[in-house]
Structure 1
Amino acid sequence: MEEKKEWPLKLVWSSPVLPKVGVFTWLALKKRILTGERLSRLGFLGPFRCVMCKKADESLDHLLLQCEEAQMVWNFLLGKLGWQTPLPNSVFELLSSWNIQSHISVFSSVWLVAPSLVVWEIWKERNRRIFQEKEESSASLLSRVEREISESVSAAARNHSLTKYPYSSEDNFIQANWPLVNCQPVNGSWRVSPLSEPTKDEVKWEPPTKE
């Protein structure tokens, strides 16, 4: 008997991503987003070719996972996470078997935010090509995915308790692979970016003096 997969609710509702991203991921898991396949079932006339690879009809699993453009993004992500696993044939199977870290570390949120942001960025690129007739290069798409994930992880880390869960070797590994994660623990608090002295051409703000 085939093992029943649990719904990856933690990736959708507990992930520190924007609510609209979580809602989109939920709709994708329910196969309710308006891909070509769904539009065809609703009676709209095609053709509904995948605008990402232009080689197959657009279904949810094809667009977000099976398309060669999507495969490129997912393989890039798995490489950055240091996780070697074969990609399944459906988004639901992938997210249901996702390696959600059971322990808490400073940057462990990368495992929570990454899947939702990948499907969201692929969807946005798909819509950009359809409605704006603009197409980003593969390198630009990967760069955007990396930036969005890094910003979400950095934001989540600022609320992390270093006293309760100190910086670890695993966090060092994540920062080595995700250089855009720009939080650094310094003396028990967070430094978001390296501090530098203002140049002579820069104006340094100072509080007003008391009369």
Structure 2
Amino acid sequence: MEIWNKAALLKLLWAIAFKRDKLWVKWVHAYYIKRASYDTVRVSTQWSWILRKIIDTREWLQNIGGWQVLSTGNKFSIRKTYKLLRGEFDRVQWRRLICNNEAAPKSKFILWLGLQNRLATTDRLSLWGVNCSTTCSLCRREDESVYHLFFLCNYANDVWQGLCHSLRFARISSNLHDIIEVAKRQARKKNGKLFVMAVTECFYAIWRQRNSQIFANTVLPNSTVIRDVLFRIAVRSPEEIR
């Protein structure tokens, strides 16, 4: 958002520089810039906050390379400006699981936290100094981590495989990298949306049962959880579930 705001301010500076027919631009030139130029005028503390911010973007403009790199066909391109200000970054491998995902927002948020290893699993809580048992609350066999909870836990594994059977998917891998690779391939197929939604809602369902076991000492049967996931998918995308 900060970078996008800078790009938007540069668009306003472009207007001051080249859109002399605009009424607000005429007002800026008449009362503030006067006989000077936008790139040489001295900014005064008497100016409004927003106008000072706009004129101060002259430094960003020089660092980027001038108007010629920000324009397309003599028109300002806020998209090109944003990309130049942001810089080049490699695309994250899990983008297919988050972008264009029609699952519930809270389900996508839990999945995103899981992909970032930012869920408050007991292995992380213990590192924060929280006095708690690190054993998985669902299977009671191994220490709880994001990788164990969603892929190695017997309870979670039964939910995954039952859901895949219901949706006629191949057995899902216990390796997160493999799931991401499958999602990337499935996203290009007709039923790819269904696979991505299933992964997302299953993540959320397992997380809910984990919390229910810890805080309420109750956990639903696998079959009930699977039906709930199928229902959530059907509500948000009924044509896919058919």
Same fold (TM over 0.5): yes
Give the aligned CA root-mean-square deviation in angstroms.
Answer: 2.4
2:206 aligned with 1:117: no
2:124 aligned with 1:38: yes
For 1:15-60, what per-residue CA distance to the aligned partner results, in whole angstroms no more than 9, with x for missing partners? 0122222121111001000001111121212212111111111111
For 1:69-95, what per-residue CA distance to the aligned partner results, in whole angstroms no more than 9, with x for missing partners? 111111122223333256133x34423
Match in the other structure for 1:78: 164
Instruction: Tell me by how many angstroms 1:62 deviates.
Output: 0.7
Structure richer in helix, relative to its length: 2
Instruction: Give TM-score, length-normalised by structure 2.
Output: 0.56
Distance 1:71 1:19, change over 3 A: same
Instruction: Give TM-score, length-normalised by structure 1.
Output: 0.64
2:179 aligned with 1:94: yes
Superposition pairs of residues 6-21 of structure 1, within 5 angstroms: 7-21=93-107
Is contact 1:13–1:22 with CA below 8 Å preserved after alignment? no
3-state SS of 1:97 partner: helix
Which of 128, 136, 139 pairs up with 2:220?
Answer: 136
Match in the other structure for 1:189: none
Match in the other structure for 1:192: none
Superposition pairs of residues 26-65 of structure 1, within 5 angstroms: 26-65=112-151
Alpha-carbon separation, structure 2, partners of 1:113 and 1:57:
28
Greater C-alpha Rg = 2
Gaps of 5+ in 1: 158-170, 176-211
For 1:148-175, what per-residue CA distance to the aligned partner results, in whole angstroms no more than 9, with x for missing partners? 2222222xx4xxxxxxxxxxxxx7xx52
Distance 1:86 1:141, change over 3 A: closer
* AA partner of residue 144 (structure 1): D
Match in the other structure for 1:149: 233
* AA partner of residue 237 (structure 2): V
Match in the other structure for 1:187: none
Q: State, as a whole percentage, how many aligned pairs show the same letter.
A: 24
* AA partner of residue 12 (structure 1): I
Match in the other structure for 1:179: none
* AA partner of residue 81 (structure 1): L
Give structure 1 regions of 4+ aligned residues with deviation exceeding 4 angstroms.
Answer: none
Is contact 1:36–1:46 with CA below 8 Å preserved after alignment? yes
Gaps of 5+ in 2: 1-90
Alpha-carbon separation, structure 1, partners of 2:178 and 2:130:
28
Alpha-carbon separation, structure 2, partners of 1:70 and 1:126:
10
